[in-house]
């Protein structure tokens, strides 16, 4: 005969009513010291994984893996693929590269001595000469304290611009047979600093086109920033005729644009003309091969204010999967305007300038499905699917 004590019966009842997950059952029977040791071990494992992840991020950034994947840089790709904020992604990228020259900080992360958040802030100002001393300090302060020290250290490197000059000028001209536009200016130092800061700040948020990332493309991004500033002013003009851009386009066949040029300005590609007609304040004059006008396109503008408000409320952000951009967004005609697409909410999607260019100049396609969702297709026609690959795809690759 089997005799059960009250304690044994109680254990059996707990086992019968407790979750079947063996890990959870084991946790319930651990004392507090064991739990702390176990979570320390898990933290160390996570920290080591973080270090490996940052190593991969640095390599991905060097190889520019994000190209042709619908992203404008590595931070944008990380945000799209893994759902992290672009701010955090940029911090990870900076830390990933910095750790390659900070072996002590790298070891502190890999061993779990310092959490990823502290390491990310520490790498903003640590150097190979100071990292050992800073590690001792960082271990005894909060992450916020490290962040504040980093902010102060970075601010100290920015010198105030002083002095005022009386002369100032701004000139522009066209050259290369009207295909290029040149601009040159001279400002007093203080005023020049204002312009430089505004353009650099805006350039840091302007979507980066392929092959224009990094320091090599900073001049191109500053040019885009200047256009964005002027476009914002143009869009606010109360007198539309004063800011209308006339594009002369030659017809090739019945519905295809050939040579295009801005009136009193440079030649542009047909793809650029199509993008301008999508939402800029543009009037297109369609001409035959003899430059005789055959049709005057109706004035195309951004949708009226009420429609833009509805569009931004409906779409919230750029509709490219995972992009999340809310600045520099534009209304894109799913069925292009010059191909008969209507300027109404059903035919419009909100896209950022980067993904707008992907459609018009880089061959990507957008399609609105019957359920209201938006599908994107790469230039070769394959449907774009964001997010990490499913496990079976990872195994197959």
- CA–chain centroid gap for 208, Å, is 8
Calculate helix-pair angle for 86-99, 103-111, nearest 10 degrees.
Answer: 120
Are 359 and 336 contacting, i.e. CB atoms less than 8 angstroms apart?
no
List helix spans (H) across 64-84: 74-82
Neighbours of 50 (CB within 10 A): 20
**Closest among 116, 122, 141 to 45, alpha carbons compared:** 116
Extract the tokens encoding 2: 């089997």
- Interatomic CA distance for residues 140 and 143, integer angstroms: 10
The region that residue 253 occupies, defined by phi over 0 for left and psi between -120 and 50 for alpha, beta otherwise, is left
Question: Would you give per-residue pLDDT tens digits along the chain (397 residues)?
Answer: 445 555 555 565 555 555 555 555 455 667 888 888 889 899 999 999 999 999 999 999 999 888 888 888 899 899 889 988 888 999 999 999 999 999 999 999 999 999 999 999 999 999 999 999 999 999 889 988 998 888 777 754 433 333 334 566 777 777 776 677 888 877 765 567 668 878 888 887 776 776 667 776 788 888 888 887 776 654 444 444 434 566 776 666 655 666 677 665 666 666 666 666 655 555 555 566 655 554 444 444 457 777 877 888 888 888 998 888 887 788 888 887 666 677 778 888 999 888 888 888 788 989 988 888 899 998 888 888 877 765 554 444 3
Torsion of CA 136, 141, 143, 147, to 10 degrees: -80
Extract the tokens encoding 231: 């476009």
Kindly list the distances between the CA atom of residue 26 and the CA atoms of 18, 20, 22, 137, 233, in Å, as whole numbers in the listed order.
Answer: 11, 11, 6, 37, 65
Q: What is the pTM of this model?
A: 0.54
- Interatomic CA distance for residues 301 and 347, integer angstroms: 15
- Interatomic CA distance for residues 164 and 188, integer angstroms: 5
Are 100 and 124 contacting, i.e. CB atoms less than 8 angstroms apart?
no
């Amino acid at each position: 005969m089997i005799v059960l004590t009250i304690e044994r019966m109680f254990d059996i009842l707990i086992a019968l009513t407790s979750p079947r997950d063996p890990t959870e059952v084991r946790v319930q029977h651990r004392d507090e010291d064991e739990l702390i040791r176990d979570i320390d071990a898990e933290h160390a494992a996570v920290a080591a994984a973080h270090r490996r992840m940052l190593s991969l991020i640095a390599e991905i950034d060097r190889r520019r893996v994000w190209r042709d994947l619908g992203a404008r840089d590595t931070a944008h790709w990380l945000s799209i693929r893994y759902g992290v904020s672009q701010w955090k992604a940029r911090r990870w990228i900076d830390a990933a590269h910095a750790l390659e020259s900070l072996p002590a900080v790298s070891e502190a992360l890999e061993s779990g001595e310092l959490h990823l958040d502290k390491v990310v802030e520490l790498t903003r100002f640590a150097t190979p000469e100071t990292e050992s001393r800073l590690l001792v300090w960082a271990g005894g302060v909060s992450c916020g304290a490290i962040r504040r020290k980093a902010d102060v250290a970075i601010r100290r490197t920015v010198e105030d611009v002083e002095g005022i000059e009386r002369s100032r000028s701004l000139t522009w001209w066209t050259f290369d047979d009207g295909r290029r536009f040149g601009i040159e200016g001279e400002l007093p130092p203080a005023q020049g600093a204002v312009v430089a800061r505004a353009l650099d700040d805006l350039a840091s948020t302007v979507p980066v086109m392929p092959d224009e990332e990094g320091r090599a493309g900073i001049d191109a991004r500053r040019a885009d920033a200047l256009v964005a500033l002027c476009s914002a002013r143009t869009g606010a003009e109360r007198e539309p005729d004063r800011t209308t851009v006339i594009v002369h386009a030659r017809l090739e066949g019945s519905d295809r644009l050939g040579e295009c040029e801005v009136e009193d300005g440079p030649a542009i590609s047909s793809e650029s003309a199509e993008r301008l007609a999508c939402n800029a304040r543009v009037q297109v004059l369609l001409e035959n091969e003899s430059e005789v006008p055959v049709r005057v396109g109706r004035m195309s503008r951004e949708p009226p204010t009420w429609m833009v408000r509805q569009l931004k409320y409906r779409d919230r952000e750029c509709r490219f999967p995972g992009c999340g951009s809310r600045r520099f967004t534009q209304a894109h005609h799913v069925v292009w305007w010059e191909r008969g697409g209507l300027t109404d909410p059903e035919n419009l999607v909100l896209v950022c300038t980067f993904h707008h260019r992907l459609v018009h100049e880089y061959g990507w396609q957008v399609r609105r499905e019957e359920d209201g969702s938006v599908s994107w297709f790469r230039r070769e026609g394959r449907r774009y699917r964001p997010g990490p690959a499913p496990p079976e795809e990872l195994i197959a690759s």
